[in-house]
Structures are given as C-alpha cells and as structure tokens.
Amino acid sequence: MSTSRVSTLVIRTPEGIAFSLPLACPVTRCLAWFIDIACIMGLMTLVGVFLGLAKLISLDFGRALAIVGYFVVQVGYGMACEWLWRGQTVGKRLLRLRVMDAQGLHLQFNQVALRNLLRFVDCLPAFYMVGGLVSLLNPRAQRLGDLVANTIVVRNLKRPEPDVDQLMAGKYNSLRDYPHLEARLRQRVSPREAAVALQALLRRDQLDLQARLDLFEQLASHFRSVVVFPVEACEGIAAEQYVRNVVDVLFRPRAR
C-alpha cells in the first residue's frame, strides 16, 4: 500500500489486484463538514422545540438536557449517516466523498463510532485546529479520528459505464438457448453480484494467472448454484467463459 504526490492511495490485495483510491483533500472535507454542521443545527432546532417543554419543569434541568441533546445529535448524526449510508453523511454525499477502511476493507461500526467520538478532540481548541493540522501533515489527509479508527476519506469519481456489447461481441452464449432459465437468472442475481462478475471480466488481465483461475472458478460455481442450466448448455465451458455468458444474460437484453 502506498500514497503518491497526487493524493492517491494504492492498495494491493493478496490476490495480486492493485486499485487506486483518490483521497479527499482537507479543503473539500471542510466544506462537507460545513454542510453537516448546517444539518446538525437544523436537527438541534427541532430538538430544541421539544426540550423547551423541559424548561417548564426546571430551568437547570432543561439546560442540562439541552447539553446532552446537543452531544447526542452531533455524535449520533455522524454515526447514523456514515453507518447507514456506507461512509457518507449529507455533506459527503453532496461533495461525492466517502469514509472507508484504510486497507479498503468493509467499514466496521466501531470505526464509525471511534472517528465520530474523537471529532471533539479534532475540533480543539477551536475551528477544527487539531484535526486540520494533523490532516495537513498526514500524507493520506487523515485527521486524528481517522488515524485511531484506521479510516480514510476518498472521492467518488464518476466513471464511464463499460461497453458490455463490445466485451461480449462475437461470443456464442449457450445459455441464450433457454429463455425461461435466462429470466430466472436475471431475477435471482442481485445487482451487486452482477457488478462483481462484470468487474472481474473487465479486470481479468490485471490478475495473476492462478488468482484469475481461482476467482472465475468461484464465480462460476456460485452462478451455477443460483440457476441450474442443462448439461448441454454448460458442458466443456471454462469457468471464465461461463461467467462471461452469465454477464451477457444479465447486462444485455435478449436479441429479437
């Protein structure tokens, strides 16, 4: 794993796959946080309406409840959004940013909790000074909360859609001979599974030979278990070709 001068994190997996993640700069993260602050203030205004009833009972009790309420809203907002929206808050979503595990793994709830709880330390002594300085000095633009939680913030770039027609051009697909099983396959395979299979085909030349064989063997085995096609449709077809046929069924409408 390494970082370059253009703020890109390169992660290499044990399977020999290398992929890069564009890191978010401190300025963009600050703008996203301003948007989130506005959302938090809006939530606090709504909460304040209900807390106003507590002041009718006791002024001190109402003030104490307001402090607790502010803490819960500020911390809970970040935790809830980043956990439910897979690393995004309102500000991050608008500016196309996302929190991720520093090794590219699935973001865990304890990481989300840690980075949001330590936000109060990053804000010290004022205007996010600690977090800003740490982020500027860190090559991966991580604030203190990110360092403790082992997270990074990346930019979600818009990528052109792959040309599936060109990928499948000139390839005979034996699965097309069974329209009712085609329809069943499209019904049972989730969009995420379909995307994984497509990306595997698009990046197959980047894999080591053994990793490539193992990956397509696992994918083919999975899709064969989802829908069982007749033996004559699968006999003599390599695992990679079977996955190619499945992707053809999933992404391209049936020719008329």
Question: For the purposes of burial, counting CB atoms within 10 Å of the CB of 74, is it exposed (0-12), middle (13-18) or buried (19 or more)?
Answer: buried
Which residue, among 118, 116, 135, 134, has the nearest Cα to 26 in the 3D structure?
135
Per-residue pLDDT of the chain (256 residues), as tens digits, is 444 434 777 776 555 556 677 889 888 998 999 999 999 999 988 888 877 777 777 777 777 887 888 888 988 999 999 999 989 999 999 999 999 998 877 789 999 999 999 998 988 887 788 988 898 888 888 999 999 999 999 988 765 555 666 666 557 888 988 999 999 999 999 888 888 898 888 888 888 888 899 999 999 999 999 999 998 888 888 999 999 999 989 887 665 4
| Residue 240 to residue 219: CA distance in whole angstroms | 8
User: Considering the entire predicted model, what is its pTM?
Assistant: 0.62
| Residue 181 to residue 176: CA distance in whole angstroms | 9
